[in-house]
Copies of this chain bind each other. A is one copy, B any other.
Amino acid sequence: SNFAYVRQFETEDRCLPNTWIVVRVDGKGFHKFSEKHNFTKPNDERALSLMNKSAERVMNDFSDVIIAYGQSDEYSFVFRKNTSAYNRRASKLMTNICSLFASSYVFHWTEFFPDLPLLYPPSFDARVVLYPTEQNLRDYLSWRQADCHINNLYNTVFWALVQGGLTPKDAHLRAKGDSSEKNEILFTEFGINYNNLPEIFRKGSVLLKQKVKETCVKELKGETAESSPYERTVTQIHALHRDIIKRAFWDEYPHLLSNK
């Protein structure tokens, strides 16, 4: 038609080739969202599991996402360096992932919050960030995991103090010290050894893929005899809750960085 010229106003946004593409999704206004839905403080296992479930759906749909890392209301998806998913178009990647994450969150809500109706549909922002080297990529993921640790230690102390009777203001004043002070408070005042808290709270969640062979039997409709069994490869997704800052993790999963 006469109007089709308006397509020329669209801009190309292909990501630099041979560079790690990271899409980070983050809940919009989850401070309020978690309050309204009475999320357990500082960590709500149901909420974290729902985040993980949503991320799993994203990983299943995007075969080139090789690792994902989540904590709090955010998730980062890492594409292999040479992906040509959506021709590396940034808008396509971030919006498809972000919307699938959001719709999955609502879709699976009742599985994780069976007694708690979802009050309103949540939204998430997303962004694409490019990392040229392994070191940069690892530092990115380390940055998110360090953030998880710092926030979680603070929040654990803060809410322990508040539940112990302090005002939020006073709790903040006591919780704002350094790491060892916070561990000390938890241990001496609440008998909590921080390192014994669930790893999912302290480390966040790492999603990895694994290819496994399955033996299948296809039942033919309306026939009593079954067809012969055959093999197929399926991709399974596993969640880990462990340190990804140190070398050990990457040595154990060398394929992540090898760009195969």
Closest to A138 in B: B3
**In the complex, what distance in Å separates the CA atom of A105 from the CA atom of B123?**
12
Do B127 and A99 have beta carbons less than 8 Å apart? Answer: no
Counting chain A residues whose Cβ lies within 8 A of the other chain, the interface size class is 35 or more
Do A132 and B101 have beta carbons less than 8 Å apart? Answer: no
Q: Is A124 an interface residue (CB 8 A)?
A: yes
Known A19-B16, A133-B132; judge A127-B95 contact (CB<8 A). yes
Do A99 and B123 have beta carbons less than 8 Å apart? Answer: yes
Known A3-B142, A107-B121; judge A91-B126 contact (CB<8 A). yes
Do B4 and A143 have beta carbons less than 8 Å apart? Answer: yes
**In the complex, what distance in Å separates the CA atom of A105 from the CA atom of B142?**
35
Q: Which residues from B are CB-within-8-Å of A133?
A: 18, 132-133
Interface window among A6-14, A159-167, A203-211: A6-14
Q: Which residues from B are CB-within-8-Å of A98?
A: 95, 98-99
Q: Is A28 an interface residue (CB 8 A)?
A: yes
Q: Is A96 an interface residue (CB 8 A)?
A: yes
CB A50 to nearest CB in B, in angstroms, measures 12
Known A18-B132, A143-B3; judge A92-B9 contact (CB<8 A). no
CB A25 to nearest CB in B, in angstroms, measures 8
Do B18 and A92 have beta carbons less than 8 Å apart? Answer: no
Q: Which residues from B are CB-within-8-Å of A130?
A: 9, 16
Q: Is A106 an interface residue (CB 8 A)?
A: yes
**In the complex, what distance in Å separates the CA atom of A129 from the CA atom of B108?**
32
